[in-house]
Amino acid sequence: MNDSIFLFGIRIDRINRKFAVEKISGWLHAEEKLCKYVVTPNVDHIVRLDTSKEFKNTYEHASLVLADGRPLVLASRLLGSPLPETVPGSDLVPLLFAHIAQTWNRPVRVFLLGAGPGVAERAMNRIQQTWSNVKIVGVYSPPFNFERHEKECIEICDRISHTDTELLVIGLGSPKQELWIEKYASFLPIKVALCVGATIDFLAGEKKRAPKWVQSIGLEWLHRMLSEPKRLVRRYAKDAFIFPQLFFREWKLNRKSSNIAKF
C-alpha cells in the first residue's frame, strides 16, 4: 500500500523498504527522465524543517519522502498514524543495488556525487565488485562551498548529463544535498536522484556503520555520534532538546483535531 501521512509539517510516505525499492526501480525502468528525487527525513531534518522555509520547499517537491530514524517512526505510532518502518538511505541504496543485480537484465547507469576526494572512487570499486548490473558511469567530489557558485553547479550538471546517468546518488550532507537537487533538478536529464547523506562513505568503507544489533535496538545514532563527536555531539544535543517540543506541539494539534472531529 502506498499512502502518506502529514507529520511535523511535511508529507511522509507510508511504505516499507521493499516497496520503496520496487517503486524506485519502476521509475528507473521508465523511459522519461524527469529527475524524481527522494529525501529521507530524520530527527535533525525535522528540527531544521521547522525553521527553514527553503528546506521545507525541497520536501514539498520531493517525489518520495522516506522516514530515516526510529524516533520519527515511534512518534508516528504515538500520534496514531504509524509508519511501517525506517527506510534509511544507507539501507535503501544497497537494497536497490541488490534488487537491480537480481532482477534487471541490463545495467543501470549510476553517478556518485559527494564524499571526500578519492572516497567515491573506492565506493565505485566496491559497488561494481558486489552488484552486477550496477554500472558506475561517473564520480565527483565537489570543492568546499561549491553550491554558492552557479558556474560550478552548472558544470556538475553537465558532467552528469554527459554520462547518460539514470540514477544519481547524492552524498553531500543535509540540507545541502536537498537544496542542491531541488534547485538543479531541471538541469539534469536523469530518472532518479537519491539524497542519502553519508551512504557513499559507508559504501567505500570510509565510515563504519553500527553493528546490526545496535541498529536493531535503534541506537545507530549513538554509534555515529561517538564515531564523530566533534561534528555530531552539538547537533544531537540540540535535536534532543528541540524534537520533544515539536512532538508535544504535534500531539496537541492532533488532540485538537480529534476533538473537533467529534462535534
Measured distance CA(48)–CA(61) in Å, rounded: 17
Give every CB contact of residue 29 below 8 A, 6+ residues apart in sequence: none
Quote the CA–CA distance of 115 and 140 in Å, as a whole number: 8
117-136 pLDDT, tens per residue? 999 999 999 999 999 999 99
Residue 240's pLDDT band, with cuts at 50, 70 and 90, is: confident
Q: Where are the domains of the chain?
A: 3-262
The predicted-structure confidence for 144-170, as pLDDT tens digits, reads as follows 999 999 999 999 999 999 999 999 999
